[in-house]
Amino acid sequence: MRAALYIRVSTDEQAEEGFSIEGQKNRLRSFCDSQDWMISKVYIDDGYSAKDLNRPQMQQLIKDIPNDEFDIILIYKLNRLTRSAADCDYLLKLFDRYNIKFQSCTESYETRTATGRLFIRLMADIAQWERENIAENVRFGMEQMVKEGQRPGGPVPFGYDKDGKIIPEEAAVLHELRQLYMSGNGFKTVASILNNRGLLRRGFSWTAQTVYYVLDNPYYAGKIRWGTKKMNGKYASRKKEEKVNCIFSDGSHEPIFAMEAYEEHTRRMKVRSFGGYTKAREYWFAGILRCAKCGSAMTGRYHQNKRKDGSFNKILSYICSKRQMSNGCDMPMFRQELVERLVLDYVDQIKLNLSKVDEMEQEAKQERHKVESELDELRKQLSEVQKRKKKWQYAFANDLMSEDDLRERSNEEKLVEDSLAERIKALQNQTGDLREEVMDTLFDMRDIWDVLDDKEKNEFVTTLFQTIELDTPIGKAHGRKGQFIPASIKSIEYV
């Protein structure tokens, strides 16, 4: 019998005995040996939660099921596969449709009888309860930190050090920022003025989004806020919105803005804010999206639905460029509101899973080390060029080289020198916390997204993301009208 092994581990479980990738792999291989099964496929999702099926290797497994590549799917425990009762039901029906058997090597149940399938569904319900209970405990811990006046994680706000002490030079920039805004300038104009004056954010340029974040953040007025946003109605409609579970408390840090000043400029922001849509709607994710099935870019497309009152509703979507040219890709179209939901959910997951922040900070350290190593090598090469130039000049001065030879040598060295200097300058602009700007902007995204117009949303995603790869287990859109297709973000690359 051909077996497919599915292995999943979340970051928190990585170190636990038995739940590690290697631990699960060894147990599953031993089980296959005892049953005389041949291992035909191995799927490993490293660092993913089982709250849903939006995991790269899980999506690949679902795609491979119709291809008759294995007869049975073997897991370590049911909660490695899913912690959602609805997803469990979906997978069992999918396995049954293609006559795929299902087995856990540590739990005694089977899927061939109604009793066996019922038991699995009961176990999935328990796993879902456990996951939701853990999430509630995490949120409770965050809320308790806020109530005690502590920041619930995330990057240190500009203007403060890691101990919550004010950095005078940065605080002066923040006061200038507020003054520029209160003088009648918009977010983008304020950012442009600060950048032109060289008043940067720890070496990074200001943007309309980061200006908004400073003005909106009550931390600068001595308060700590923690909470999430909830949409009323479908994700497609973002006009009606309210904050739920938002908690405010007095922080233990010294404020930079007086509360009266904070309330004054936030009132002005509210008066000048808008719903996020302009009459001429634009594609927010243009130039960013990629098709996970064939790797091609996804381009914008729209169609219109006629309303009952005779007016037309313009619906924006993204289509794989290869499919658009009828070159064989079967990726369905993604509505813009679906992409928006996927991206914002991704940001929410990052904010809740602080280990992801640690991973990104570790990536930043590795990237900085790589850049510094390259800079050292380039500086050595530049030093060698300058030494050679002095040798040519010495040779010419002592009649060991003609003027034409000196000129030729000097021109050659000048080209190398200019190339090295240009590369050094480019790398120097990347030094410092290379990911700090990404982290700050990512944490700000949910809070500021709905006050941006269409053009600003596109500017936001293009300054934050290099590519967003979209995936779906289906080959063509289907389902009831008005429903989103099942979809996930397979990968994200930052600028």
Catalytic residue numbers read 10
Residue 63 vs residues 173, 320, 419: alpha-carbon distances, Å: 52, 18, 47
Query: ∠ at Cα 406 (403, 407), nearest 5°?
Result: 85
Report helix, strand or coil for 90.
Answer: helix
Residue 119 vs residues 108, 112, 114, 122: alpha-carbon distances, Å: 10, 12, 9, 5
Q: Which positions ≥6 away from 231 have C-beta within 8 Å?
A: 237, 238, 240, 241
Buried b (16+ CB within 10 A) or exposed e, 172-210: ebbeebbebbeeebebbebbbbbeeeebebeebebbbbb
Report helix, strand or coil for 301.
Answer: strand
Surface-to-core class of residue 249, CB atoms within 10 Å of its CB (0-12 exposed, 13-18 middle, 19+ buried): middle
Helix/strand/coil percent split, the chain, to 5: 50, 15, 30
Q: What are phi and psi of 244, to 5 degrees?
A: -125, 155
Report helix, strand or coil for 378.
Answer: helix
Question: What phi-psi label fits residue 33: left (phi over 0), alpha (psi between -120 and 50 degrees) or beta?
Answer: alpha
> Taking the CA atoms of the chain, what radius of gyration do you get in angstroms?
28
Q: Beta strands of 323-393 (E only): which ranges?
A: 334-335
Q: From edge to edge, which strands make up the β-sheet containing 488-494?
A: 289-291, 465-471, 488-494
Measured CA to CA, the distance from residue 287 to residue 285 in angstroms comes to 6
Alpha helices in 76-156, H assignment, sequence order: 78-81, 85-97, 114-147
Do β-strands 101-104 and 72-75 pair in parallel, antiparallel, or remain unpaired? Answer: parallel
Question: What phi-psi label fits residue 203: left (phi over 0), alpha (psi between -120 and 50 degrees) or beta?
Answer: left
Report helix, strand or coil for 207.
Answer: coil
Dihedral angle sign, alpha carbons of residues 116, 117, 121, 122:
negative
